[in-house]
Structures are given as structure tokens and as C-alpha cells.
């Protein structure tokens, strides 16, 4: 049994005093932080939580303690592209060219090393669970490795080394576009057909820190007739099913031209919406799409969406549970992802106050969409994930005690994360990873894929 004591912690409270409210932000409401919180941890779980307690010999977590953050949408290898893709102003095509070059160069050993560094960066940012949307399955030319899941298993091992949980969202990717076969490096993504994808995915091995889920890369990458195979596979196992949805207008136009349906209609028709499903981006939706998505989680990846000039999605109009992802890792900072959901709405509407700080933080700590519904809360029985945000950095020094959560959500950065406990183990102490020199590991592994390409 380990006892931690937090001078301040967010236990999920919405407003103080007066309790919670759903939906729209009530005028004048602040998000509530508790004081003197004693958290008892037994093994990898929280055993007890008490408020208004004295420290009494417990290990002090300084600053503001939050539940572990969840990065619901990641492509680990995209981290190697950070910054580079803006050269000469940057276009979608410079980004895609670099992304394919990085994908072409990786093998299970180099991918494991790169992902270990990237998941280490996530740990430093307070992320204790990642949904890895994994489509780089095979060797050059599409030749399977001896273990056809060698790449997926490398990612699972990398997460273990970084000390975070992973949901490997094994992704079906079969086509370059509507009616177009995979070409070039895309051959490494494809299993040929959805039945072969399902056979390979069925052989993936989970672990205590790793669960397996499924993904449809997009409606362009999986032919309509094969969508149900992936959706059924996930439903039969009761695991998450993710898909990129309507990220760019061109995807909607191509889908309408090829099928007469919007991507959301097409996915719905083939059983890929609803419980345990999560749509990533959901940027360009019709009103009917928004209604159709009610009950399906939506993952907003605001920093990638702005990086790739995708547009602003209808986050507030959705009735969906929201989660967040750093996707291409233009930055890895869930505070930035969270506040961007509100700030983008402000720019669009010319009005403030769409989401409360607690709602945004709930999205940033939502592990349910990646298949860990028990995580993301500081309460007995939950995995012992605790993130201490320093309140003495230049960004947060002077934060008012009544609006600490607002200060954290709207002004903190990943660099303010001081200590991280994941599944009961301390993985970040005083701003440093306890087992990986993350900057050195990123230095060694990020350049390699691009230099070799």
C-alpha cells in the first residue's frame, strides 16, 4: 500500500458548491478542485480516496493532481515528421510525402525504438493510456513478417517500456482510394481483404497493459462491401472500433461520388457506428451526420487538424462523448488539445463559454473510448493513474485558488507535468521519465527514418 497526498486534486467535480450539471456551461460556474486529498494505492489500483485530510506521512504530490490523461488517437511514427513538413510553407503533399518516407523505412526493431521514445514523450505529458491507430503492418512490398503482427507487438512492447497502457487499434487498410488498389508504401498497410485482416488481427496478443481494438482506416481505404467484416469483428469481441471520419471535404466528395452516401451514412449502414465506436476528426459533417453520430464517441485532434488545414469540426453540436488525440504529434500536449476544442468554437462563433474546464478535462481523461472505461478517474477501484501539474511554473504561478482547473486547462502545457503515476508505478518524477532519457531517445530515433528514406 502506498499513500499519496495532494494539496489540490480534481476528482471530477464540475462546479462548486452546488454539484454537477450536464451539457452547457452555467453562467459564472467554476470547475471544482478539492483540497488535502489522500489517495491510497494498492498494487495498480486506487484503494481509497479521502478529502480534507492532513498529509500525515503520505508521499506529497505537489501542484494540482489530475487523473491520467488519455491520448485516444496516435500514429506513433508520425512523430518523426514534426516540424519538417512545414518546409517551404508546407502543403498536405509535403506532409504525406514525408509520412510515406518514414513508413517505408521502419522495421519492427526500429519501430519499437521510435515508439518507446514517443510513448516516453507521452508519459512526460501526463498521458497514461494511448489508442494507437496502427496500420503499418507488413514488410517492404507488403510481405508479412514471420510474426505477421511483429509491428503491432513492437508497439505493445514499446508502451510497456514507457510505462503506459495501450490499446492497439489494429487498422484495416485495403485501398488507396475508392476503387484504387494500394500503391507504393501503402502495400505495407494492406492485408489484401478484410477477412485476411481479421485473421491476422485475431492473432494479436494483449497484455496486462495492452488491449486490442479495431480500426477502419477510412471509407476510402476499406471498400464498402468489407466494412461490416471489421465492424462485426469488433462487436463480437466487445472491443473499440475507431475510424477516421470526414477529415477533409475531398473525402466526403469522393465518398458521395462513389457510393451516393456521406462517410457517416456509409459507416452506419455497415454497423460501424454506435456503442464502443469512436470517430476520429468528424470535421465536415451534415446535420443528419451529426444526429446519426449521437452515442458514438468522437475524437477531436485539434492540433493536427489545424496543422493539416482540415477545418474546425462541430464539437459543441455533437451529442457524442468527446475524447482527444494528438494524432500526427505535431505537438504532444493534451492541455493544448483540450483548450483548442473551446477556443476553436470561440473563433467560429465569436462567442465565449461553450465548454467548461471540467468538460474539457473529462475529454482529456476519457479512457472509455479506447476500451478502458475503469480508468481516468481518481476513485476506488480505478487504475492508479495520477498526474501532478506544477503550479509554480511561469505559466501557472499566481493561479487563483478558485479557478485552478481553468488555469490548468487554459494555460498549462505538457511541460508543467511534474510527476506521473501510471497503474500504481511512478513513471515521471520531477519532470523526468524514470527509466528513459526521452529527449536522447527521440534524438536517436526520429531522424533515422527520414535519413534512411
Shortest approach of Zn ion to residue 23 CB, angstroms?
Answer: 28
Residues from 277 through 336 that contact Zn ion (CB under 5 A): 327
What phi and psi, each to the nearest 5 degrees, are found at residue 263? -55, -40
* Contact map string, positions 205 to 244, toward Zn ion, x by CB under 5 A: ----------------------------------------
Q: How many residues sit in the footprint of Zn ion (CB under 5 A)?
A: 1
Nearest position to Zn ion, beta carbon: 327
| DSSP letter, residue 64 | E
Q: Please, are residues 163 and 425 in contact by the beta-carbon 8 Å criterion?
A: yes
The string of DSSP codes covering 308-350 is: TT-----TTT--SPEEE--BTTSS--HHHHHHHHHHHHHHHHT
Instruction: Indicate the SS3 state at residue 137.
Output: coil
The string of DSSP codes covering 196-215 is: HHHHHHHT---BTTEEEEEE
- For helices 108-124 and 438-452, what crossing angle results, to 10°? 140
* Cell numbers placing 386: 495520477
| Given 78, 244, 270, 281, the catalytic residue | 281
C-beta closer to Zn ion: residue 191 or 327: 327
| DSSP letter, residue 371 | T
Report strand pairing: 386-389 vs 417-422.
antiparallel
Whether 134 sits among the annotated catalytic residues: the reply is: no
C-beta closer to Zn ion: residue 327 or 359: 327
Q: Is 34 in the site for Zn ion (CB under 5 A)?
A: no
Q: Please, are residues 428 and 68 in contact by the beta-carbon 8 Å criterion?
A: no
Instruction: Indicate the SS3 state at residue 194.
Output: helix
Whether 327 sits among the annotated catalytic residues: the reply is: yes
The whole-angstrom separation of Cα 279 and Cα 134 is: 15
C-beta closer to Zn ion: residue 247 or 406: 247
| Given 327, 333, 366, 416, the catalytic residue | 327
| CA dist 431 → 66, 241, 330, 384, 437 (Å) | 15, 34, 21, 19, 11
Shortest approach of Zn ion to residue 147 CB, angstroms?
Answer: 25
Q: For the sheet containing 210-216, what is the strand order? A: 69-74, 127-134, 165-172, 210-216, 241-245, 277-281, 297-300, 322-324
Catalytic residue positions? 281, 327
Q: What does the binding site for Zn ion look like in residue numbers (CB under 5 A)?
A: 327
Amino acid at each position: 500500500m502506498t499513500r499519496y497526498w495532494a494539496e489540490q486534486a480534481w476528482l471530477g467535480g464540475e462546479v462548486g458548491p452546488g454539484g454537477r450539471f450536464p451539457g452547457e456551461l452555467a453562467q459564472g460556474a467554476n470547475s471544482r478542485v478539492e483540497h488535502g486529498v489522500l489517495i491510497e494505492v494498492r498494487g495498480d489500483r486506487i484503494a481509497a480516496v479521502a478529502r480534507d485530510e492532513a498529509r500525515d506521512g503520505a508521499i506529497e504530490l505537489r501542484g494540482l493532481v489530475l487523473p491520467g490523461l488519455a491520448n485516444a488517437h496516435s500514429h506513433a511514427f508520425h512523430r518523426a515528421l514534426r516540424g519538417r513538413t512545414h518546409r517551404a510553407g508546407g502543403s498536405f503533399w509535403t506532409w504525406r510525402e514525408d509520412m510515406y518516407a518514414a513508413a517505408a523505412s521502419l522495421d519492427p526493431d526500429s519501430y519499437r525504438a521510435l515508439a518507446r521514445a514517443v510513448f516516453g514523450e507521452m508519459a512526460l505529458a501526463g498521458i497514461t493510456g494511448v489508442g494507437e491507430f496502427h496500420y503499418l503492418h507488413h514488410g517492404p512490398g507488403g510481405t508479412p513478417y514471420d510474426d505477421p503482427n511483429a509491428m503491432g507487438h513492437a508497439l505493445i512492447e514499446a508502451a510497456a517500456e514507457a510505462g503506459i497502457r495501450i490499446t492497439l487499434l489494429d487498422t484495416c487498410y485495403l485501398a488507396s482510394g475508392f476503387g484504387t488498389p494500394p500503391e507504393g508504401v501503402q502495400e505495407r498497410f494492406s492485408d489484401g481483404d478484410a477477412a485476411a485482416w481479421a485473421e491476422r488481427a485475431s492473432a494479436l496478443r494483449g497484455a496486462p497493459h495492452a488491449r486490442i481494438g479495431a480500426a477502419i482506416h477510412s471509407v476510402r481505404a476499406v471498400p464498402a462491401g468489407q466494412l461490416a467484416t471489421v465492424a462485426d469483428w469488433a462487436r463480437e469481441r466487445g472491443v473499440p472500433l475507431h475510424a477516421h471520419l470526414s477529415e477533409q471535404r475531398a473525402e466526403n466528395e469522393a465518398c458521395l461520388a462513389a457510393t451516393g452516401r456521406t462517410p457517416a451514412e456509409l459507416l452506419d449502414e455497415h454497423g460501424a457506428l454506435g456503442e464502443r465506436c469512436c470517430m476520429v476528426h468528424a470535421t465536415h459533417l451534415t446535420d443528419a451526420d451529426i444526429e446519426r453520430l449521437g452515442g458514438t464517441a468522437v475524437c477531436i485532434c485539434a492540433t493536427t487538424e489545424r496543422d493539416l488545414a482540415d477545418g474546425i469540426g462541430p464539437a459543441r453540436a455533437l451529442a457524442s462523448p468527446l475524447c482527444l488525440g494528438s494524432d500526427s504529434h505535431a505537438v504532444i500536449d493534451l492541455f493544448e488539445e483540450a483548450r483548442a476544442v473551446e477556443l476553436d468554437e470561440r473563433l467560429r462563433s465569436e462567442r465565449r463559454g461553450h465548454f467548461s474546464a471540467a468538460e474539457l478535462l473529462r475529454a482529456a481523461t476519457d479512457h472509455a473510448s479506447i476500451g478502458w472505461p475503469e480508468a481516468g478517474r481518481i476513485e476506488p477501484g480505478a487504475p492508479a493513474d495520477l498526474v501532478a501539474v506544477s503550479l509554480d511554473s511561469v505559466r501557472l504561478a499566481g493561479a487563483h485558488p478558485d479557478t485552478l482547473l481553468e488555469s490548468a486547462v487554459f494555460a498549462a502545457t505538457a511541460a508543467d507535468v511534474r510527476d506521473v503515476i501510471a497503474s500504481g508505478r511512478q513513471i515521471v518524477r520531477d519532470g523526468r521519465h524514470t527509466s528513459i532519457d526521452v529527449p536522447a531517445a527521440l534524438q536517436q530515433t526520429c531522424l533515422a527514418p527520414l535519413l534512411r528514406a
